[in-house]
Amino acid sequence: MLRRAGYVAGGLVLVAGAVVALRNVDAPSEQNPPPPAPIQTTVKEFVNEAAVAPKPGARPERPANLTLIPGPHRLQVTWAAKTPGYEVQLRGDGDVLRTRLVAGNAMQFDGLENTVEYQVDVRAVDSFGQRSEPSTARKRPSANRPDESRYALVDHFDGPVAPDPARWRLANNAACARMTRGLGDDSRRLVISAACGNESVALRSRTPLQLKDIGGELGRMMIETDCPAKDGSLVLDLVPGPADLIDTSPPPGTLRVKITADSVTLPGADAVAIPPKTGLSVRWELVLRTDGLSLWRDGTKVAASGFVPTWTTATPLFGFTGPPNGLTYIGIDAIGLSSADTPPFVAPPRITSTNISRAANTELMAGVLGGQLRMTVRTTIREQMMPFTVEIAGRAFPARPAVEGHVFAPSYRFPIVADLPADALVLSGDRRELRITVRGANPAISPVVQHAELELIPDPATKPSPNQAEPPPEPAARPALMLASFDTQFLDAAGQKIENNEIMSRSRVVLEVNADGGSAQAGLAGVEIFVDNKRIVGIPTMVDGPAVAGQWRVALNSGAFEPGPHILEVKAVSTDPNVAPGFTNTTWSIPR
């Protein structure tokens, strides 16, 4: 018995040893974690008994009216077709240099050489990735620009310093955006990259627009940019005061022009519909005259108004709002103003309103006689906030509205300014930052400081210290491509939308899946449909290559599902392993 027990015990030891050895080699542990699951980049065709999936039809027709529009270091490409997506290829000396997948009928290649002739091929792409024969055209970029003789200040952002901080400042909420020279294809452009949700950012000109009657024209401002995209807006503001960041409740006297992809609105006039030009850089020009305003797009007047401002000097702001996902990437090719009187510039320090503790090491700002602190504050508290004060290093300074007569309202951005003497410009800590606190009429209430900027007065007798200036941001790269956005709806046998997804009878219904893209998209490998976490349909979209966007109608037998509510989910899979899949889901209800 003892020998038997010993044998068994020995056997257990041996088996345990074998198990341990196997675990050391094959099983995951803290030292040897399991390999990651492979990233899905394909979709297999699949249909269960409750569904009927669509099939590819005839190949799409080739795009018509292919046109190449040359510009400085760029080619704009437009065509006519009615398919969900397109594949656009740029060739030089026969080689494919770039390939883009787009959902619109226009796109732009930047960063080209003006002396090289390029070939562009455009193929229509349907919902299943089928491609048409290509339409082809050839052209060189052109160094020629539109007439800019009426602008005293023009910046093409192609100098050694771009952007020039003495000319342009960026205002945004809590450093959610940055303004830099672009990289790669955008290296000859100014780029604004932001992740600010639905909040706008503003590019401020330090050069004011000064009105002067010259043959009936008072002044003008211009921007050439690819904003607005399909979603979002571009706003041109002329504010009669030192404001940096405003929103839908602008200061009194502000001249505001709002531009979306398909409309423009001038003060004193109704919105005017315009044909979209998304995916392309567009030159917008606002002309102020003694008899009203006019707005021009690429040399063509698109809107007019009889509005004439009463002020003679204003701060130009170029406001940008991005798409619903909050990610904004804007290319700017040129900005122009009819005025060129730029004030002297001293690079400002970092400013913080979140770190107000006293630092052991402090120093005064060098080379300045004082400055104006420009702030944008906001609060939802419905109490009397005015007058405001600003506290710096234990001292309080009065703050006033940036525009006289502007009354604070809760929830809206409110620009204020405070004049600071030189001895108030105390920089704290190793970061050499100006630490501020803004308080309302009740000192216990502090509004949120969304943005703060310091305009400094140089001291001709001394020089500023470069170590005290806020360092410039790193250049911004283009964001990674994303899949088109998806949505769903249920249709009855007549093709009409079923309201609230409430199926009235246990019969066949149609699930319509729509994917709507933009000017640059990731490739789509396929679509999968799940009901209550069970896959019922897989639709590959890679016949000739990845699809871009599209529409798929799937017939569902509602009688195959249990009565009651069900969760339906659509998953979109990219061909690129670095692109996250897209998901959309909805709830539908089946009667008993």
**Domain extent at residue 69:** 64-139
Residues 167 and 237 in one domain: yes
Examine the fold and report which residue of 80, 111, 139 is the final residue of a domain before the chain moves on: 139
Examine the fold and report which residue of 312, 337, 362 is the final residue of a domain before the chain moves on: 337
485-508: average pLDDT: 88
- CATH number at 557 reads 2.60.40.10
Query: Does residue 475 sit within a domain?
Result: no
Tokens of 306: 């009889």
Reference 227, options 168, 283, 301; nearest CA is 283
**Structural contact between residues 455 and 372, judged by C-beta atoms closer than 8 angstroms:** yes
pTM surpassing 0.85? yes
Residues 178 and 297 in one domain: yes
Query: Does residue 47 sit within a domain?
Result: no
Q: What is the mean pLDDT of the chain?
A: 91
**In the predicted structure, residue 328 carries a pLDDT above the cut 90:** no
Residues 443 and 327 in one domain: no
The rounded distance, in Å, linking the Cα atoms of 422 and 459 is: 10
The rounded distance, in Å, linking the Cα atoms of 415 and 169 is: 15
Residue 5 is predicted with a pLDDT of 37
Residues 160 and 111 in one domain: no
Residues near 278 by beta carbon (within 8 Å), at least 6 away in sequence: 104, 106, 228, 229, 230, 261, 518, 519
Residues 159 and 306 in one domain: yes
Choose the weakest-confidence range: 144-153, 183-192, 505-514: 505-514
Residues 490 and 449 in one domain: no
Residues 187 and 133 in one domain: no
144 burial level (CB within 10 Å; 0-12, 13-18, 19+): exposed
Reference 408, options 452, 377, 437; nearest CA is 377
**In the predicted structure, residue 26 carries a pLDDT above the cut 50:** no
Calculate the CA 263 to chain-centre distance: 19
Query: Does residue 396 sit within a domain?
Result: yes
Query: Does residue 175 sit within a domain?
Result: yes
Query: Does residue 41 sit within a domain?
Result: no
Residues 254 and 165 in one domain: yes
Residue 443 is predicted with a pLDDT of 84
Residue 478 is predicted with a pLDDT of 86
**In the predicted structure, residue 471 carries a pLDDT above the cut 60:** yes
The rounded distance, in Å, linking the Cα atoms of 96 and 45 is: 31
Query: Does residue 205 sit within a domain?
Result: yes
Give the bridge partners for 123, in sequence order: 87
Q: How confident is the model at residue 14 (pLDDT cuts 50, 70, 90)?
A: very low
The rounded distance, in Å, linking the Cα atoms of 393 and 296 is: 49
Angle at Cα 234 formed by Cα 162 and Cα 147, nearest 5°? 60
Residues 219 and 295 in one domain: yes
Examine the fold and report which residue of 442, 468, 494 is the final residue of a domain before the chain moves on: 468
Q: How confident is the model at residue 382 (pLDDT cuts 50, 70, 90)?
A: confident
The rounded distance, in Å, linking the Cα atoms of 214 and 191 is: 34
Query: Does residue 382 sit within a domain?
Result: yes
- CATH number at 231 reads 2.60.120.200
- For 212-263, give the DSSP string: --BTTEEEEEEEEES-S-SS-EEEEEEESSS-----SSPPTT-EEEEE-SSE
Tokens of 471: 């360092």
Residues 198 and 288 in one domain: yes
State pLDDT tens for residues 531-555.
Answer: 999 999 999 999 999 999 999 999 9
Residues near 13 by beta carbon (within 8 Å), at least 6 away in sequence: none
Tokens of 518: 């933009």
Residues 133 and 170 in one domain: no
Query: Does residue 216 sit within a domain?
Result: yes
Angle at Cα 173 formed by Cα 198 and Cα 446, nearest 5°? 115
**In the predicted structure, residue 360 carries a pLDDT above the cut 80:** no
**In the predicted structure, residue 29 carries a pLDDT above the cut 70:** no
Tell which wins on pLDDT, 10 or 169: 169
Q: How many domains would you assign to the chain? A: 5
Tokens of 1: 């018995």
Residues 97 and 202 in one domain: no
